[in-house]
Amino acid sequence: LFLLLVSWAYAHAEGRGPLSYFSLIENAKIHTPSQRIFAHTSFDLSFTLHRGRQEVKLRLEPNNDVFHEDTKITYMDEFGNEEPATLKRDQIKVFKGMAYIPSAELGWKAVGSARIMVHEDGANPVFEGSFSINYDLHHVQLRSTYLQTKVAGDPDVEETGGEFMIVFRDSDVGMRLQKRADGEKAEQCGHDGLKFNMDPDHAVRQAINATASDPKNIFATVFERELFHGLHSKRQIFGEMPGYGSGGGINLRQTIGQTAGCPASKRIALVGVAADCNYVSSFPSKDAASKNIISVFNQASRLFEDTFNIGLGLKSLVVSDASCPGSPPASAPYNIPCTAENVNITNRLDLISKFRGTKKDDGLAAWTLMTKCQTGSAVGLAWLGMVCRSEADEKADGSVVSGANVVARTGIEWKVVAHEMGHTFGAVHDCDVGLCSNPLIVQASRCCPLSATTCSAQGMYIMNPSTDDQIEQFSPCTVGNICSAIGRRAVNTNCLTSNRNVQIISENRCGNGIIEEGEECDCGGEEGCKDNTCCNPKTCKFTTNSVCDDSNDDCCSGCQFKAKGAVCRASNGPCDPEEVCSGTEAQCPEDVVKPDGTNCANGMKCASGSCTSRDEQCRLVMGTFEQSNRTSSCSDQGCSITCRAPEFGPGVCYDVKQNYLDGTACNGDGKCKAGRCSGSTVLGSVKSWIDQNKTTVIGVASAVGGVIVLSIALCCYRRCCKPKPKKS
């Protein structure tokens, strides 16, 4: 899930439980003169729920973040031949906004956010997406989607006739799967079964999981390979599979709710999506599959924007033919039917990672494989902390690690996407009762606790291993988990783009919140600009005498440039000096850190902008709260964190399943990069061994030296004291 440096985890996601109730959308109306809309229209959409007892109004505007001007959609046949899609931006009616309900005092009261895709406008509009009413998330599905993704126990619906819209709330979802997961704990992974991964142990649990002397002491046996062997491990979002991750190299209890490290101004994470033949076959056409993917990411992006100030934007979409090939083409190794033997969701993650490695220069944050193939109850899988990692790193066990994840089709796809992307950005699972029962796991920050004093997150948040509860937000611990990891550079976010001079899919549009070419500012239209005195919402130009926009520019205050020398990016320690404003520009200068290996403090050296050492990273990841922490690294070899401490017992090293920060010293004169040691030499390794074993070296040298001295002395004695021969 998260990295100390770079850490991976294996965990999976489950589908939702059965519905106790759903409602139909009735009396839907688009409030425009002709009841028609275009991709760039801002409008109100009203309807009723629960047989007319609940009125709802959505105030919507185009969401251009999720679909860019240079977004490339490619259709691929079963042989791997590609052709550009005919789907254009003006056909993608994807919107974001707010949900309102009637109020006696206010007329209409804002009660939550909304993300909607409109399929048909006019007098009888058809749409899907999600919106929230007082923190209860409402899912809007087409009849056809509901039938394709319904689970046992769901209410029946007519299987013939035209499309209509079904709405179910998170509060309507039953708890059957959660109970089953609790009951199957032991089957999952050593300690309490795989509950560790399946339950809300999300941020820290993957931090220091296995023990080199006896891995079964903590986890179990089923996924021993993924859990205890191999440099990286995988995780699935909501499920019962094992997982690994890291708390970003910090004690997760100490960063709960802290946003330091997350971007102060909005950033965009551009992603690629590959839809395999299994996924596409569940839709009437490739266009329909493409639109569903866009709708899913539109909903998931809302959560990332609201929580981390990072939007998710689609830049590349590869849609396979609905007919699965006899054997996958070399250009699409992931395109394998669900019926293929010996291919599970873990293998599919390896395959999409291999594919991602062929796109090294695309500048994307991650690639997602959309499929219909589940492994048991697992519906998602991701490499942890691998955002912006384009290289495909093949391990000795055959796994392939890269910035990639897998999402299987369900009725809650957007939550699975949000969960898996959370792992990609370094989030571990939330803690659950099973994990909290093991003091070592809690102490080692192996999962994300509810608070500094309460361990179990009670399945209330997105990084819970299972998705059948009322889950709509990331936990405060996950916020600290991801933001601190970004701030410490435990995850690489260099590929994220700024919200300035962004090229979107169509002609520039003032009011969409994105500053495009020709605009000076864009605070999001009349609604978004209510408290903004710097930007004119109608022209997207600065107001009179304004030279910058406080809401978008780090070096702007009161619509004027901040004074020269004003701190715009605080120091993160001796290896990461602060950046200051120039006094003549609105943007903060580029973030610059000291070179890796620079001496910083207390014998430590700079690595990825942090003043640290191998011992220090062990102390941080172990999460000990004692005043005297005697935890240390087991050796200076390699880049996988292994830690020892007197409390563990003699000769015991814990394999934390995390990597040392990029730039950490290894094998003498080498440096870690993405979990591997590079640049080391034999001479450097020998010197390092001598430095680490000075006592032994001195002892041996003294003994050898003593023997030599004694030998010389004896030789001299014999030579000097040898009886002289008698003269004849």
Closest CA to 496 of 685, 312, 684, 246: 312
Give the residue carrying structure tokens 């102060």.
264
- The tokens of 459 are what? 């399945």
Distance (Å, whole) CA 271 – CA 403: 10
Closest CA to 99 of 87, 91, 108: 108
Distance (Å, whole) CA 638 – CA 575: 23
Q: Is 99 helix (H, G, I), strand (E, B) or coil?
A: strand
In order, the DSSP letters of 12-41 are -------BS--EE-EEEEE-STTS---TT-
For residue 179, how far is the Cα from the chain centroid?
A: 27
Check residue 145 and report its DSSP letter.
H
CA angle 142, 124, 63 (to 5 degrees): 65
Check residue 461 and report its DSSP letter.
S
Distance (Å, whole) CA 268 – CA 253: 28
Closest CA to 624 of 645, 649, 653, 650: 645
User: By the 8 A CB rule, do 397 and 230 touch?
Assistant: yes
Residue 419, annotated as binding a ligand: yes
Residue 429, annotated as binding a ligand: yes
User: By the 8 A CB rule, do 381 and 236 touch?
Assistant: yes
Q: Are strands 67-76 and 310-320 parallel, antiparallel or unpaired?
A: parallel
Q: Which of 420, 472, 519, 520 is catalytic?
A: 420
Distance (Å, whole) CA 174 – CA 604: 52
Q: Is 420 a known active-site residue?
A: yes
For the chain, percent helix, then strand, then coil, each to nearest 5?
A: 25, 25, 50
Angle (deg, nearest 10), helices 286-308 and 413-424: 50
Q: Are strands 404-408 and 366-371 parallel, antiparallel or unpaired?
A: parallel
Give the residue carrying structure tokens 């950005």.
425
In order, the DSSP letters of 191-208 are TTTTHHHHSS-BSSTTSS
Distance (Å, whole) CA 493 – CA 426: 11
- The tokens of 368 are what? 């997602």
Q: How many CB atoms lie within 10 A of CB 413?
A: 23
Burial 315-336 (b: 16+ CB within 10 A, else e): bbbbbbbbebbeebeeebbbbb
Distance (Å, whole) CA 530 – CA 551: 12
Give the residue carrying structure tokens 């292994």.
642
Specify which residues 569 forms β-bridges with: 579
H helices then E strands: how many in the chain?
A: 16, 35
Phi first, then psi: give them for residue 341, nearest 5 degrees. Answer: -75, 145
User: Is the four-CA dihedral 598, 599, 605, 609 of positive or negative sign?
Assistant: negative
Q: Quick one: 552 exposed, middle or buried, by C-beta within 10 A (0-12, 13-18, 19+)?
A: buried
Residue 423, annotated as binding a ligand: yes
User: By the 8 A CB rule, do 386 and 403 touch?
Assistant: yes
Known binding positions: 419, 423, 429
Known binding positions for Zn(2+): 419, 423, 429
Q: Which residues are catalytic?
A: 420
